[in-house]
Amino acid sequence: MKKTVQFFIISLLVLGSFSGCTSMQTGTNSNAVLGAVKGVLTNGTSKAFNIFSDSNAFMTNALIEAALPKEIKEINAKLESLGLSHIVEKEKQYISQIANASITTARPIVKQAIEQMTLSDAVGIVSGGNGAATNYLRTTTETKLQTAISPLVHTQTEKLGVNTLLNNALGGQNGTLNAILGTVLGTGSNQNTTELLNDAITQQLIEGLFNIVEDVENDTRANPSNLLNSVLGTTTKNQ
């Protein structure tokens, strides 16, 4: 009986909410809305980390590719123009390994942000349209993710030899690599090549995470029954 009541309440509220209804009439309804919105972000981040944990999925995912910073795009374009596509492939494999290593660091940061969401946050997200939940996650976690992931990326790029791989492929002594990055960033940058690559990889991981979360969010808004099934599954597990 309890599950039937939950199904009825969540069905009406979740489907109504994602159609633009934001009226909060009871405490149960409020909790359902908050739980539903948290469910969107939980689903999105879980999918992202699943992709991060699978090298092939990471390397072939269009949303991860879309997050590729211009610095790495320029390097890869130069390598491919020199007939060094195999180096680009190796670089992507290294970055996929770094993505996998970042999961343990990133997961508790996004989990905490989701858990700390308030009803007011949830109502704003429901009425905010596509990307609103992802924007909430970005606002509450982006700086923390950058601070936490950047040292890990530095350690992993040194361990795997990403900078050495690219430098050697482009002629050694960092000359060509620095020239490419200088063209992208302008002459005013004081960062060295290693720092620039670390920052670019960190950016790709974070933006890739948000891209996947937003894709899940927007799909949920278009197909709210997906969220309903997830919320019911989570509720059942917690009983």
- Note the pLDDT of residue 72: 87
Range 32-38 average pLDDT:
86
Of the listed ranges 7-11, 23-27, 81-85, 228-232, the least confidently predicted one is: 7-11
Range 62-66 average pLDDT:
96
Is the whole-model pTM more than 0.85?
no
What is the percent of the chain with per-residue pLDDT over 70, rounded to a whole number? 72
Quickly count helices (H) and strands (E) in the chain.
Answer: 12, 0
Q: Which residue has the higher pLDDT, 225 or 59?
A: 59
- Note the pLDDT of residue 12: 40
Band of pLDDT at residue 141, cut at 50, 70 and 90: very high
Using the CB atoms, write b or e for 44-61: b if 16+ within 10 Å: bbbbbbebbeebeebbeb
Q: How far is CA 13 from each of CA 130, 177, 231, rounded to the nearest angstrom?
A: 18, 54, 12
Of the listed ranges 9-18, 96-105, 193-202, 210-219, the least confidently predicted one is: 9-18
- Note the pLDDT of residue 65: 95
Secondary structure of 73-119 in the HEC alphabet?
A: HHHHHHHHHCCCHHHHHHHHHHHHHHHHHHHHHHHHHHHHHHHCCCH
Torsion angle, alpha carbons of 218, 222, 225, 230, to 10: 0
Q: Tell me how far apart the alpha carbons of residues 198 and 27 are, in angstroms, rounded to a whole number.
A: 47
Read off the pLDDT of residues 114-129 as tens digits, 9 standing for 90 and up: 999 999 999 888 888 8
- Note the pLDDT of residue 220: 87
Chain centre distance of CA 129:
19
**SS3 of residue 20 by DSSP:** coil
Range 202-231 average pLDDT:
83
Range 74-79 average pLDDT:
85
Range 61-78 average pLDDT:
90
Report whether pLDDT(204) > 90.
yes
Amino acid at position 42, single letter: T
Q: How far is CA 238 from each of CA 101, 118, 176, 231, 235, rounded to the nearest angstrom?
A: 29, 20, 56, 11, 5
Structure tokens at 223: 């197909």
- Note the pLDDT of residue 197: 85
Q: Which residue has the higher pLDDT, 6 or 87?
A: 87
Closest CA to 18 of 222, 211, 214, 212: 222
Cα-based angle 178, 184, 186 (whole degrees, multiple of 5): 85
Q: Tell me how far apart the alpha carbons of residues 146 and 34 are, in angstroms, rounded to a whole number.
A: 27
Tokens 């430098």, residue? 167
CB 194 within 8 A of CB 163: yes
